[in-house]
Chain A
Protein backbone atom coordinates (compact mmCIF):
# COMPACT_ATOMS: atom_id res chain seq x y z
CA UNK A 1 0.00 0.00 0.00
CA UNK A 2 1.41 3.38 -0.87
CA UNK A 3 0.19 6.71 0.26
CA UNK A 4 -2.05 8.32 -2.31
CA UNK A 5 -1.21 11.94 -2.82
CA UNK A 6 -2.96 14.63 -4.72
CA UNK A 7 -1.53 15.45 -8.07
CA UNK A 8 -2.80 18.29 -10.17
CA UNK A 9 -4.12 16.99 -13.46
CA UNK A 10 -2.15 18.07 -16.45
CA UNK A 11 -4.68 20.49 -17.59
CA UNK A 12 -4.76 21.87 -21.07
CA UNK A 13 -7.07 24.64 -21.98
CA UNK A 14 -9.35 24.11 -24.86
CA UNK A 15 -8.49 26.63 -27.52
CA UNK A 16 -11.25 27.30 -29.96
CA UNK A 17 -10.77 28.96 -33.29
CA UNK A 18 -8.22 31.47 -32.21
CA UNK A 19 -10.22 32.59 -29.17
CA UNK A 20 -7.97 33.03 -26.23
CA UNK A 21 -9.19 31.32 -23.08
CA UNK A 22 -7.71 31.35 -19.63
CA UNK A 23 -8.32 29.90 -16.23
CA UNK A 24 -10.43 31.93 -13.86
CA UNK A 25 -9.12 32.37 -10.36
CA UNK A 26 -11.79 32.80 -7.72
CA UNK A 27 -11.13 33.47 -4.07
CA UNK A 28 -14.04 32.01 -2.14
CA UNK A 29 -13.96 33.46 1.32
CA UNK A 30 -12.97 34.32 3.97
CA UNK A 31 -16.29 36.13 3.95
CA UNK A 32 -18.49 33.78 2.02
CA UNK A 33 -21.93 32.63 3.12
CA UNK A 34 -21.29 28.96 2.48
CA UNK A 35 -17.83 28.50 3.89
CA UNK A 36 -19.18 27.90 7.41
CA UNK A 37 -17.16 30.71 8.90
CA UNK A 38 -13.98 32.36 7.84
CA UNK A 39 -12.46 29.79 5.55
CA UNK A 40 -11.02 30.56 2.17
CA UNK A 41 -10.69 28.45 -0.93
CA UNK A 42 -8.54 29.70 -3.77
CA UNK A 43 -10.16 28.03 -6.73
CA UNK A 44 -8.94 27.87 -10.31
CA UNK A 45 -11.76 27.33 -12.75
CA UNK A 46 -12.08 26.35 -16.35
CA UNK A 47 -15.57 27.51 -17.04
CA UNK A 48 -17.34 25.94 -14.09
CA UNK A 49 -14.99 23.02 -13.58
CA UNK A 50 -12.59 23.12 -10.67
CA UNK A 51 -9.04 22.69 -11.92
CA UNK A 52 -7.20 23.52 -8.75
CA UNK A 53 -8.21 24.31 -5.20
CA UNK A 54 -6.08 25.51 -2.33
CA UNK A 55 -7.62 25.87 1.11
CA UNK A 56 -6.38 28.86 3.11
CA UNK A 57 -6.63 28.68 6.88
CA UNK A 58 -5.86 30.86 9.83
CA UNK A 59 -8.59 33.48 9.79
CA UNK A 60 -9.81 32.30 13.16
CA UNK A 61 -6.47 31.31 14.66
CA UNK A 62 -6.94 32.52 18.20
CA UNK A 63 -3.96 30.90 19.82
CA UNK A 64 -5.81 28.43 22.00
CA UNK A 65 -2.71 26.28 22.51
CA UNK A 66 -0.40 29.14 23.45
CA UNK A 67 -2.96 30.54 25.88
CA UNK A 68 -3.49 27.15 27.48
CA UNK A 69 0.23 26.73 28.06
CA UNK A 70 0.17 29.92 30.11
CA UNK A 71 -2.66 29.01 32.44
CA UNK A 72 -3.55 26.27 34.88
CA UNK A 73 -5.04 23.00 33.69
CA UNK A 74 -8.57 23.71 34.77
CA UNK A 75 -8.53 27.25 33.37
CA UNK A 76 -8.33 25.81 29.86
CA UNK A 77 -11.65 24.04 30.26
CA UNK A 78 -13.84 27.00 29.19
CA UNK A 79 -11.52 27.53 26.22
CA UNK A 80 -12.17 24.01 24.98
CA UNK A 81 -15.85 24.98 24.68
CA UNK A 82 -14.86 27.49 22.06
CA UNK A 83 -12.92 25.06 19.89
CA UNK A 84 -15.84 23.46 18.16
CA UNK A 85 -18.59 25.70 19.34
CA UNK A 86 -21.40 23.33 18.40
CA UNK A 87 -20.07 20.58 20.62
CA UNK A 88 -18.79 22.07 23.83
CA UNK A 89 -19.66 18.97 25.85
CA UNK A 90 -17.60 16.51 23.82
CA UNK A 91 -14.67 18.94 23.76
CA UNK A 92 -14.85 19.14 27.54
CA UNK A 93 -14.91 15.39 27.76
CA UNK A 94 -11.83 14.89 25.61
CA UNK A 95 -9.87 17.35 27.69
CA UNK A 96 -11.08 15.89 30.96
CA UNK A 97 -10.06 12.42 29.76
CA UNK A 98 -6.55 13.62 28.95
CA UNK A 99 -6.19 15.29 32.33
CA UNK A 100 -7.56 12.22 34.09
CA UNK A 101 -4.85 10.19 32.39
CA UNK A 102 -2.21 12.43 33.92
CA UNK A 103 -3.64 12.20 37.42
CA UNK A 104 -5.60 9.08 38.13
CA UNK A 105 -9.02 10.16 39.30
CA UNK A 106 -11.95 7.85 39.51
CA UNK A 107 -15.11 9.20 37.98
CA UNK A 108 -18.32 8.36 39.89
CA UNK A 109 -20.97 6.27 38.21
CA UNK A 110 -23.59 8.99 37.93
CA UNK A 111 -21.10 11.38 36.36
CA UNK A 112 -20.15 8.78 33.77
CA UNK A 113 -23.78 8.36 32.80
CA UNK A 114 -24.36 12.09 32.65
CA UNK A 115 -21.26 12.46 30.50
CA UNK A 116 -22.64 9.99 28.01
CA UNK A 117 -26.03 11.70 28.02
CA UNK A 118 -24.45 15.10 27.42
CA UNK A 119 -22.17 13.80 24.69
CA UNK A 120 -24.97 12.10 22.81
CA UNK A 121 -27.24 15.14 23.10
CA UNK A 122 -24.35 17.12 21.67
CA UNK A 123 -24.09 14.70 18.80
CA UNK A 124 -27.77 15.25 18.05
CA UNK A 125 -27.28 19.02 18.11
CA UNK A 126 -24.28 18.84 15.82
CA UNK A 127 -25.80 16.49 13.30
CA UNK A 128 -29.13 18.28 12.98
CA UNK A 129 -27.40 21.64 12.61
CA UNK A 130 -25.00 20.19 10.09
CA UNK A 131 -27.78 18.68 8.03
CA UNK A 132 -29.58 22.01 8.11
CA UNK A 133 -26.51 23.89 6.93
CA UNK A 134 -25.75 21.23 4.36
CA UNK A 135 -29.17 21.51 2.77
CA UNK A 136 -28.70 25.26 2.96
CA UNK A 137 -25.55 24.87 0.87
CA UNK A 138 -27.53 22.86 -1.65
CA UNK A 139 -29.73 25.86 -2.24
CA UNK A 140 -32.71 25.25 0.03
CA UNK A 141 -32.19 28.54 1.82
CA UNK A 142 -33.65 28.70 5.25
CA UNK A 143 -36.46 26.22 5.59
CA UNK A 144 -34.61 22.98 6.52
CA UNK A 145 -32.33 25.02 8.76
CA UNK A 146 -35.33 26.42 10.59
CA UNK A 147 -36.62 22.91 11.23
CA UNK A 148 -33.22 21.88 12.51
CA UNK A 149 -32.81 24.86 14.77
CA UNK A 150 -36.28 24.32 16.18
CA UNK A 151 -35.11 20.94 17.48
CA UNK A 152 -31.74 22.33 18.49
CA UNK A 153 -33.42 24.86 20.77
CA UNK A 154 -35.05 22.06 22.76
CA UNK A 155 -31.67 20.53 23.51
CA UNK A 156 -30.13 23.95 24.14
CA UNK A 157 -32.73 24.43 26.84
CA UNK A 158 -31.62 21.19 28.48
CA UNK A 159 -27.99 22.30 28.39
CA UNK A 160 -28.93 25.61 29.87
CA UNK A 161 -30.84 24.01 32.71
CA UNK A 162 -27.93 21.73 33.51
CA UNK A 163 -24.96 24.04 33.08
CA UNK A 164 -26.30 27.58 32.94
CA UNK A 165 -25.17 28.28 29.40
CA UNK A 166 -26.68 27.47 26.05
CA UNK A 167 -23.59 26.95 23.99
CA UNK A 168 -20.48 27.29 26.12
CA UNK A 169 -21.37 24.83 28.81
CA UNK A 170 -18.04 24.42 30.65
CA UNK A 171 -19.74 21.56 32.45
CA UNK A 172 -17.05 18.91 32.85
CA UNK A 173 -14.46 18.80 35.56
CA UNK A 174 -11.49 16.53 36.10
CA UNK A 175 -13.05 13.55 37.82
CA UNK A 176 -16.67 14.31 37.09
CA UNK A 177 -18.96 17.19 36.44
CA UNK A 178 -19.32 20.68 37.87
CA UNK A 179 -22.78 20.24 39.35
CA UNK A 180 -25.61 17.79 39.34
CA UNK A 181 -28.51 18.28 36.98
CA UNK A 182 -31.52 20.07 38.48
CA UNK A 183 -34.61 18.27 39.65
CA UNK A 184 -36.82 16.99 36.88
CA UNK A 185 -34.10 17.40 34.28
CA UNK A 186 -33.93 13.71 33.48
CA UNK A 187 -37.68 13.58 32.90
CA UNK A 188 -37.53 16.54 30.58
CA UNK A 189 -34.65 14.93 28.72
CA UNK A 190 -36.63 11.70 28.38
CA UNK A 191 -39.45 13.69 26.88
CA UNK A 192 -37.16 15.38 24.36
CA UNK A 193 -35.47 12.11 23.48
CA UNK A 194 -38.78 10.30 23.05
CA UNK A 195 -40.06 12.94 20.71
CA UNK A 196 -36.91 13.27 18.68
CA UNK A 197 -37.57 10.29 16.37
CA UNK A 198 -40.80 11.96 15.22
CA UNK A 199 -38.76 14.88 14.02
CA UNK A 200 -36.28 12.55 12.36
CA UNK A 201 -39.12 10.77 10.56
CA UNK A 202 -40.40 14.07 9.30
CA UNK A 203 -36.97 15.21 8.26
CA UNK A 204 -36.10 11.97 6.51
CA UNK A 205 -39.38 12.01 4.66
CA UNK A 206 -38.66 15.50 3.43
CA UNK A 207 -35.02 15.07 2.54
CA UNK A 208 -33.68 11.58 2.09
CA UNK A 209 -35.46 10.75 -1.14
CA UNK A 210 -35.75 14.27 -2.42
CA UNK A 211 -34.85 14.24 -6.08
CA UNK A 212 -32.83 17.44 -6.02
CA UNK A 213 -30.80 16.27 -3.06
CA UNK A 214 -30.14 12.93 -4.73
CA UNK A 215 -28.95 14.47 -7.96
CA UNK A 216 -26.85 17.10 -6.25
CA UNK A 217 -25.10 14.75 -3.82
CA UNK A 218 -24.85 11.27 -5.31
CA UNK A 219 -21.54 10.69 -7.03
CA UNK A 220 -20.27 14.08 -5.91
CA UNK A 221 -17.10 14.38 -3.87
CA UNK A 222 -16.12 10.71 -3.79
CA UNK A 223 -13.53 9.61 -1.29
CA UNK A 224 -11.93 6.18 -1.52
CA UNK A 225 -11.27 4.02 1.51
CA UNK A 226 -7.48 3.98 1.14
CA UNK A 227 -7.22 7.71 0.82
CA UNK A 228 -9.57 8.23 3.75
CA UNK A 229 -7.44 6.07 6.04
CA UNK A 230 -4.15 7.52 4.89
CA UNK A 231 -5.37 11.09 5.21
CA UNK A 232 -6.47 10.48 8.78
CA UNK A 233 -10.13 11.15 8.11
CA UNK A 234 -12.27 10.33 11.12
CA UNK A 235 -15.85 10.42 12.23
CA UNK A 236 -18.90 10.08 9.99
CA UNK A 237 -16.80 10.99 6.97
CA UNK A 238 -14.56 7.96 7.44
CA UNK A 239 -17.48 5.63 7.98
CA UNK A 240 -19.13 6.98 4.84
CA UNK A 241 -16.05 5.79 2.96
CA UNK A 242 -16.57 2.28 4.20
CA UNK A 243 -14.38 1.94 7.28
CA UNK A 244 -15.93 0.58 10.43
CA UNK A 245 -14.04 2.66 12.96
CA UNK A 246 -15.75 4.36 15.85
CA UNK A 247 -13.68 5.34 18.86
CA UNK A 248 -16.66 4.73 21.12
CA UNK A 249 -16.34 1.09 20.10
CA UNK A 250 -12.55 0.89 19.68
CA UNK A 251 -11.42 2.65 22.85
CA UNK A 252 -14.63 2.25 24.84
CA UNK A 253 -13.80 5.30 26.89
CA UNK A 254 -16.15 6.23 29.69
CA UNK A 255 -18.80 3.57 29.95
CA UNK A 256 -19.58 3.07 26.29
CA UNK A 257 -19.07 -0.68 26.65
CA UNK A 258 -22.34 -0.86 28.61
CA UNK A 259 -24.54 0.36 25.80
CA UNK A 260 -25.88 -1.51 22.85
CA UNK A 261 -25.62 0.52 19.70
CA UNK A 262 -24.70 0.05 16.09
CA UNK A 263 -22.15 1.96 14.07
CA UNK A 264 -23.51 2.90 10.66
CA UNK A 265 -21.02 2.67 7.82
CA UNK A 266 -21.21 2.04 4.09
CA UNK A 267 -20.01 -1.20 2.61
CA UNK A 268 -18.77 0.19 -0.66
CA UNK A 269 -15.71 2.22 -1.53
CA UNK A 270 -17.48 5.30 -2.90
CA UNK A 271 -18.09 7.69 -0.03
CA UNK A 272 -19.93 10.53 -1.76
CA UNK A 273 -21.75 13.48 -0.22
CA UNK A 274 -25.00 11.55 0.02
CA UNK A 275 -23.30 8.82 2.05
CA UNK A 276 -21.90 11.34 4.47
CA UNK A 277 -25.32 12.95 4.82
CA UNK A 278 -27.05 9.61 5.40
CA UNK A 279 -24.47 8.35 7.89
CA UNK A 280 -25.26 11.36 10.05
CA UNK A 281 -28.99 10.78 9.79
CA UNK A 282 -28.48 7.18 10.87
CA UNK A 283 -26.10 8.09 13.66
CA UNK A 284 -28.76 10.26 15.24
CA UNK A 285 -31.00 7.20 15.58
CA UNK A 286 -28.20 5.32 17.32
CA UNK A 287 -27.55 8.26 19.63
CA UNK A 288 -31.18 8.13 20.65
CA UNK A 289 -30.78 4.44 21.45
CA UNK A 290 -27.80 5.20 23.69
CA UNK A 291 -29.67 8.05 25.34
CA UNK A 292 -32.66 5.84 26.09
CA UNK A 293 -30.45 3.22 27.72
CA UNK A 294 -28.47 5.79 29.69
CA UNK A 295 -31.59 7.57 30.91
CA UNK A 296 -33.04 4.23 31.98
CA UNK A 297 -30.00 3.05 33.92
CA UNK A 298 -28.64 6.24 35.45
CA UNK A 299 -27.97 5.78 39.18
CA UNK A 300 -27.87 8.35 41.94
CA UNK A 301 -24.81 9.39 43.86
CA UNK A 302 -21.90 11.77 43.61
CA UNK A 303 -21.04 13.62 40.47
CA UNK A 304 -17.39 14.37 41.11
CA UNK A 305 -14.62 12.09 42.29
CA UNK A 306 -11.84 12.86 44.69
CA UNK A 307 -9.72 15.23 42.67
CA UNK A 308 -6.71 16.99 44.19
CA UNK A 309 -7.37 20.58 45.10
CA UNK A 310 -4.40 21.86 43.17
CA UNK A 311 -4.09 19.98 39.93
CA UNK A 312 -0.35 19.42 39.64
CA UNK A 313 0.52 16.25 37.75
CA UNK A 314 3.93 14.61 37.80
CA UNK A 315 6.02 14.87 34.62
CA UNK A 316 4.28 12.67 32.07
CA UNK A 317 2.66 12.69 28.69
CA UNK A 318 -0.92 11.81 27.89
CA UNK A 319 -2.96 11.56 24.74
CA UNK A 320 -6.68 11.04 25.03
CA UNK A 321 -9.25 11.01 22.29
CA UNK A 322 -13.00 10.81 21.97
CA UNK A 323 -15.35 10.23 19.10
CA UNK A 324 -16.57 13.75 18.65
CA UNK A 325 -19.46 14.40 16.30
CA UNK A 326 -16.96 15.60 13.70
CA UNK A 327 -14.35 12.93 14.21
CA UNK A 328 -11.50 12.06 16.51
CA UNK A 329 -10.91 14.90 18.91
CA UNK A 330 -7.68 14.37 20.78
CA UNK A 331 -5.82 16.22 23.48
CA UNK A 332 -2.11 15.77 23.93
CA UNK A 333 -0.75 17.05 27.22
CA UNK A 334 2.80 17.18 28.49
CA UNK A 335 3.07 17.82 32.20
CA UNK A 336 6.32 19.04 33.72
CA UNK A 337 5.39 19.02 37.38
CA UNK A 338 4.03 22.56 37.49
CA UNK A 339 0.34 23.52 37.65
CA UNK A 340 0.50 24.48 33.99
CA UNK A 341 0.82 22.15 31.01
CA UNK A 342 4.18 22.36 29.27
CA UNK A 343 2.65 21.46 25.96
CA UNK A 344 -1.02 21.48 25.17
CA UNK A 345 -2.10 20.28 21.80
CA UNK A 346 -5.51 19.77 20.26
CA UNK A 347 -5.89 17.24 17.50
CA UNK A 348 -8.61 18.92 15.47
CA UNK A 349 -10.78 16.59 13.38
CA UNK A 350 -12.09 19.44 11.26
CA UNK A 351 -8.64 20.49 10.09
CA UNK A 352 -7.46 17.01 9.23
CA UNK A 353 -10.69 16.14 7.45
CA UNK A 354 -9.96 19.09 5.17
CA UNK A 355 -6.76 17.40 3.93
CA UNK A 356 -8.73 15.71 1.17
CA UNK A 357 -10.86 18.69 0.19
CA UNK A 358 -8.72 19.34 -2.88
CA UNK A 359 -8.76 15.70 -3.96
CA UNK A 360 -12.53 15.56 -3.71
CA UNK A 361 -13.16 18.83 -5.52
CA UNK A 362 -10.87 18.40 -8.53
CA UNK A 363 -12.78 18.17 -11.81
CA UNK A 364 -16.08 18.80 -10.06
CA UNK A 365 -18.21 21.85 -10.69
CA UNK A 366 -17.77 24.97 -8.60
CA UNK A 367 -21.29 24.63 -7.20
CA UNK A 368 -20.37 21.14 -6.03
CA UNK A 369 -17.30 22.40 -4.20
CA UNK A 370 -19.66 24.18 -1.82
CA UNK A 371 -21.64 20.98 -1.32
CA UNK A 372 -18.49 18.95 -0.70
CA UNK A 373 -17.25 21.44 1.86
CA UNK A 374 -20.63 21.34 3.54
CA UNK A 375 -20.58 17.56 3.71
CA UNK A 376 -17.18 17.50 5.44
CA UNK A 377 -18.68 19.32 8.42
CA UNK A 378 -16.08 21.79 9.60
CA UNK A 379 -16.14 24.38 12.30
CA UNK A 380 -13.54 27.07 11.94
CA UNK A 381 -13.00 27.45 15.66
CA UNK A 382 -11.53 23.98 15.57
CA UNK A 383 -9.80 24.18 12.19
CA UNK A 384 -7.72 27.17 13.19
CA UNK A 385 -7.96 27.00 16.97
Chain B
Protein backbone atom coordinates (compact mmCIF):
# COMPACT_ATOMS: atom_id res chain seq x y z
CA UNK B 1 0.00 0.00 0.00
CA UNK B 2 1.15 3.51 -0.62
CA UNK B 3 1.88 5.42 2.55
CA UNK B 4 -0.18 8.41 3.44
CA UNK B 5 1.69 11.63 3.96
CA UNK B 6 1.97 12.76 7.56
CA UNK B 7 0.59 16.22 8.09
CA UNK B 8 2.29 17.06 11.37
CA UNK B 9 5.60 18.27 9.90
CA UNK B 10 3.76 20.65 7.60
CA UNK B 11 1.61 22.27 10.25
CA UNK B 12 4.52 23.91 12.06
CA UNK B 13 6.03 25.38 8.93
CA UNK B 14 3.19 27.70 8.04
CA UNK B 15 1.26 29.75 10.58
CA UNK B 16 -2.46 29.58 10.03
CA UNK B 17 -2.42 26.13 8.50
CA UNK B 18 -5.07 23.97 10.12
CA UNK B 19 -5.82 20.27 10.21
CA UNK B 20 -9.45 19.30 9.77
CA UNK B 21 -9.71 15.99 11.56
CA UNK B 22 -13.14 14.95 10.32
CA UNK B 23 -12.29 15.54 6.69
CA UNK B 24 -8.66 14.49 7.02
CA UNK B 25 -7.52 17.57 5.20
CA UNK B 26 -5.15 20.49 5.55
CA UNK B 27 -7.01 23.77 5.43
CA UNK B 28 -4.90 26.44 3.83
CA UNK B 29 -5.17 30.05 5.02
CA UNK B 30 -6.28 32.61 2.48
CA UNK B 31 -3.81 33.83 -0.15
CA UNK B 32 -1.10 31.37 0.84
CA UNK B 33 -2.17 28.35 -1.18
CA UNK B 34 0.32 28.78 -4.00
CA UNK B 35 3.20 29.29 -1.60
CA UNK B 36 2.37 26.21 0.44
CA UNK B 37 1.68 24.14 -2.68
CA UNK B 38 5.02 25.03 -4.22
CA UNK B 39 6.76 24.13 -0.99
CA UNK B 40 4.98 20.78 -0.81
CA UNK B 41 5.92 20.05 -4.40
CA UNK B 42 9.60 20.96 -4.11
CA UNK B 43 10.45 19.93 -0.55
CA UNK B 44 12.49 16.74 -0.54
CA UNK B 45 10.53 15.27 2.33
CA UNK B 46 7.25 15.39 0.41
CA UNK B 47 7.82 15.81 -3.35
CA UNK B 48 4.10 15.91 -4.00
CA UNK B 49 4.55 16.30 -7.72
CA UNK B 50 1.17 14.98 -8.81
CA UNK B 51 -2.13 16.70 -8.15
CA UNK B 52 -4.75 14.12 -8.87
CA UNK B 53 -8.18 15.52 -8.16
CA UNK B 54 -9.49 19.06 -7.88
CA UNK B 55 -13.06 19.77 -6.99
CA UNK B 56 -15.34 22.16 -5.22
CA UNK B 57 -17.80 21.49 -2.42
CA UNK B 58 -20.69 23.81 -1.75
CA UNK B 59 -21.90 24.02 1.85
CA UNK B 60 -25.15 25.81 2.48
CA UNK B 61 -25.90 27.35 5.82
CA UNK B 62 -27.22 24.55 7.96
CA UNK B 63 -28.28 23.64 11.45
CA UNK B 64 -26.33 21.00 13.26
CA UNK B 65 -27.70 19.21 16.27
CA UNK B 66 -24.98 18.31 18.70
CA UNK B 67 -25.02 16.50 21.97
CA UNK B 68 -22.98 18.46 24.47
CA UNK B 69 -22.20 17.61 28.05
CA UNK B 70 -22.87 20.70 30.14
CA UNK B 71 -21.26 21.73 33.39
CA UNK B 72 -23.75 19.80 35.45
CA UNK B 73 -22.72 16.62 33.67
CA UNK B 74 -25.93 16.24 31.71
CA UNK B 75 -26.02 15.76 27.96
CA UNK B 76 -28.21 18.17 26.09
CA UNK B 77 -28.87 18.81 22.44
CA UNK B 78 -27.56 22.10 21.19
CA UNK B 79 -28.45 23.52 17.81
CA UNK B 80 -25.51 25.18 16.19
CA UNK B 81 -25.74 27.09 12.94
CA UNK B 82 -22.86 26.43 10.62
CA UNK B 83 -22.29 29.26 8.16
CA UNK B 84 -22.23 28.64 4.45
CA UNK B 85 -18.90 28.19 2.73
CA UNK B 86 -17.19 26.87 -0.36
CA UNK B 87 -14.35 24.36 -0.26
CA UNK B 88 -11.88 23.67 -3.03
CA UNK B 89 -10.30 20.26 -2.50
CA UNK B 90 -6.99 19.08 -3.93
CA UNK B 91 -5.77 15.48 -3.67
CA UNK B 92 -1.99 15.33 -3.85
CA UNK B 93 0.24 12.35 -4.48
CA UNK B 94 3.93 11.84 -4.99
CA UNK B 95 4.95 9.85 -8.03
CA UNK B 96 8.61 9.85 -7.09
CA UNK B 97 8.10 8.60 -3.55
CA UNK B 98 4.87 6.74 -4.40
CA UNK B 99 3.05 8.19 -1.42
CA UNK B 100 -0.25 9.88 -0.94
CA UNK B 101 -2.79 11.20 -0.70
CA UNK B 102 -2.54 14.50 1.11
CA UNK B 103 -5.75 16.47 0.98
CA UNK B 104 -5.47 20.24 0.70
CA UNK B 105 -8.47 22.50 1.10
CA UNK B 106 -8.96 26.13 0.29
CA UNK B 107 -11.91 27.70 2.03
CA UNK B 108 -13.85 30.68 0.82
CA UNK B 109 -17.29 32.24 1.10
CA UNK B 110 -20.24 31.38 -1.12
CA UNK B 111 -21.17 34.88 -2.20
CA UNK B 112 -17.94 36.04 -3.80
CA UNK B 113 -15.82 32.91 -3.87
CA UNK B 114 -12.23 33.63 -4.74
CA UNK B 115 -9.16 31.46 -4.20
CA UNK B 116 -5.65 31.22 -5.51
CA UNK B 117 -5.21 29.08 -8.58
CA UNK B 118 -2.75 26.22 -8.28
CA UNK B 119 -2.42 25.76 -12.03
CA UNK B 120 1.03 27.44 -12.03
CA UNK B 121 2.13 24.74 -9.58
CA UNK B 122 0.47 21.70 -11.16
CA UNK B 123 -0.72 21.76 -14.75
CA UNK B 124 -3.32 19.10 -13.97
CA UNK B 125 -5.41 21.75 -12.19
CA UNK B 126 -5.95 23.65 -15.42
CA UNK B 127 -9.05 21.92 -16.74
CA UNK B 128 -10.35 20.90 -13.32
CA UNK B 129 -10.22 24.44 -11.96
CA UNK B 130 -12.01 25.61 -15.06
CA UNK B 131 -14.66 23.04 -14.28
CA UNK B 132 -15.00 24.30 -10.70
CA UNK B 133 -15.29 27.84 -12.04
CA UNK B 134 -17.99 26.73 -14.43
CA UNK B 135 -20.07 24.60 -12.10
CA UNK B 136 -19.49 26.35 -8.76
CA UNK B 137 -18.62 29.88 -9.79
CA UNK B 138 -15.35 30.04 -7.90
CA UNK B 139 -12.93 32.67 -9.17
CA UNK B 140 -9.38 31.35 -9.43
CA UNK B 141 -6.82 34.14 -9.13
CA UNK B 142 -3.95 33.61 -11.52
CA UNK B 143 -5.60 30.96 -13.66
CA UNK B 144 -4.22 31.34 -17.19
CA UNK B 145 -7.44 30.56 -19.03
CA UNK B 146 -10.54 30.85 -16.90
CA UNK B 147 -13.59 30.19 -19.05
CA UNK B 148 -16.64 28.01 -18.91
CA UNK B 149 -15.73 24.47 -19.84
CA UNK B 150 -18.82 22.26 -19.75
CA UNK B 151 -21.74 24.64 -20.13
CA UNK B 152 -22.05 27.08 -23.01
CA UNK B 153 -20.55 30.55 -22.70
CA UNK B 154 -23.86 32.41 -22.42
CA UNK B 155 -25.02 30.24 -19.52
CA UNK B 156 -25.92 32.01 -16.29
CA UNK B 157 -25.63 30.45 -12.90
CA UNK B 158 -23.60 27.58 -11.57
CA UNK B 159 -25.46 24.29 -11.72
CA UNK B 160 -23.48 22.27 -9.20
CA UNK B 161 -24.34 24.67 -6.42
CA UNK B 162 -26.84 23.21 -4.02
CA UNK B 163 -29.41 25.95 -4.56
CA UNK B 164 -29.43 25.86 -8.36
CA UNK B 165 -32.90 25.71 -9.90
CA UNK B 166 -33.42 24.07 -13.24
CA UNK B 167 -35.47 25.74 -15.94
CA UNK B 168 -39.02 24.56 -16.52
CA UNK B 169 -38.91 21.64 -18.91
CA UNK B 170 -42.54 20.70 -19.67
CA UNK B 171 -42.03 17.29 -18.13
CA UNK B 172 -44.11 16.21 -15.24
CA UNK B 173 -44.38 13.22 -13.03
CA UNK B 174 -47.92 11.91 -12.61
CA UNK B 175 -47.39 11.35 -8.90
CA UNK B 176 -44.49 13.48 -7.73
CA UNK B 177 -43.07 12.59 -4.36
CA UNK B 178 -40.00 13.26 -2.23
CA UNK B 179 -37.25 14.84 -4.27
CA UNK B 180 -39.31 15.15 -7.42
CA UNK B 181 -42.07 16.94 -5.58
CA UNK B 182 -39.62 19.27 -3.93
CA UNK B 183 -37.98 20.12 -7.20
CA UNK B 184 -41.35 20.70 -8.82
CA UNK B 185 -42.26 23.09 -6.06
CA UNK B 186 -39.02 24.98 -6.43
CA UNK B 187 -38.93 25.37 -10.20
CA UNK B 188 -42.50 24.98 -11.25
CA UNK B 189 -45.88 24.61 -9.70
CA UNK B 190 -48.13 21.61 -9.28
CA UNK B 191 -51.55 22.92 -8.45
Interface residues of A (CB under 8 A from B): 1, 3-5, 57-58, 61, 63, 65-66, 70, 227, 229-233, 243, 245, 250-252, 315-317, 319, 321, 328, 330, 332, 334, 342-343, 345, 347, 351-352, 354-356, 384
- Does the CB pair A319–B121 fall under 8 Å? no
Once the chains bind, are A319 and B126 in contact (CB under 8 Å)? no
Residue on B nearest A234 in the bound complex, by CB: B52
Question: With the chains together, A65 CA to B20 CA distance in Å?
Answer: 24
When distances are taken between beta carbons in the complex, the residues of chain B under 8 Å from A250 are 2, 98
Residues of the A chain whose Cβ atoms lie less than 8 Å from the Cβ of B2: 250-251
Q: How far is the CB of B179 from the nearest CB of chain A, in Å? A: 6
By a CB distance below 8 angstroms, the chain B residues around A233 are: 124
B41, A352: Cβ atoms under 8 Å? no
- In the assembled complex, how far is the CB of residue A32 from the closest CB belonging to chain B, in whole angstroms? 19
Q: How many angstroms from the CA of A230 to the CA of B125 in the assembled complex?
A: 9
Contact A3 B101 (CB under 8 A): no
Contact B57 A343 (CB under 8 A): yes
Asked if A330 contacts B52 (CB within 8 A), the reply is yes
15 additional contacts, CB 8 Å, given A5-B120, A232-B50? Answer: A3-B119, A57-B127, A57-B149, A57-B150, A61-B151, A227-B123, A229-B49, A230-B124, A232-B51, A232-B123, A319-B91, A319-B101, A345-B55, A352-B127, A384-B150
In whole angstroms, what is the CA distance A164 to B50 when docked? 39
With a CB–CB cut-off of 8 A, which chain B residues contact A355?
A: 123-124, 126-127
Q: Is the CB of A352 within 8 A of B124?
A: yes
A319: which B residues are within 8 A, CB to CB? 53, 91, 101, 103
Contact residues in A for B25 (Cβ distance below 8 Å): 317
A230 in complex: contacting residue of B24, B91, B122, B151, CB < 8 Å: B122
B52 and A316 within 8 A (CB):
no
CB neighbours of B95 from chain A (8 A): 229, 243, 245
B160 at the interface (CB under 8 A from A): yes
Look across to chain B and name the residue whose beta carbon is closest to the beta carbon of A343: B57
Q: Is B154 located at the chain interface by the 8 A CB criterion?
A: no
7 contacts between A and B (CB under 8 A): A1-B41, A70-B179, A232-B122, A251-B1, A317-B22, A317-B24, A347-B52
**CB closest residue in chain A, given B98:** A250
Inter-chain contact A58/B149, CB cutoff 8 Å: yes
A317 to chain B: closest CB distance in Å?
5
4 A-B pairs with the lowest CB-CB distances in the bound complex, closest first:
A232-B124, A58-B150, A231-B123, A347-B53
Contacts of B168 in A (CB 8 A): none
Report the nearest A residue to B25, measured CB to CB.
Answer: A317
Contact with A along B115-146 (1 / 0, CB 8 A): 00001111110111001000000000000100
B123–A5 touching, CB < 8 Å: yes
- Is B170 an interface position by the 8 A CB rule? no
Contacting residues, chain A, for B41 (C-beta < 8 A): 1
What residues of chain B lie closer than 8 Å to A351, measured between beta carbons?
Answer: 127-128, 131
Using known A-B contacts A250-B98, A317-B24, A343-B57, determine if residue A4 contacts B123 with beta carbons closer than 8 Å.
yes
Closest to A56 in B: B149
Question: How far apart sit A316 and B103, CA to CA, in the bound complex (Å)?
Answer: 13
Query: Which residues of the other chain, A, contact B103 by a CB distance below 8 angstroms?
Result: 317, 319
Residues of B within 8 A of A58 (CB): 148-152
CA distance A53 to B111 in the complex (A): 34
Let me know if B50 and A229 touch, CB within 8 A. Answer: yes
* A319 vs B91: C-alpha distance when bound (angstroms): 9
The distance from the CB of A340 to the nearest CB of chain B, in whole angstroms, is: 9
Question: Contacts of B57 on A, CB cut-off 8 Å?
Answer: 334, 342-343
Q: Are B52 and A328 in contact, with the CB atoms below 8 A?
A: yes
State whether B123 touches A230 (Cβ < 8 A): yes
- In the complex the two chains form, what is the Cα distance from A356 to B124 in whole Å? 9
Q: Is the CB of A231 within 8 A of B55?
A: no
The complex places the Cα of A356 from the Cα of B51 at a distance, in Å, of 15
B159 close to A (CB within 8 Å): yes
B159 engages A66 (CB within 8 Å): yes
- Contact in complex: A5, B52 (CB < 8 Å): no
Nearest residue (CB) in B for A349 is B52
Chain B neighbourhood of A243, CB < 8 A: 95
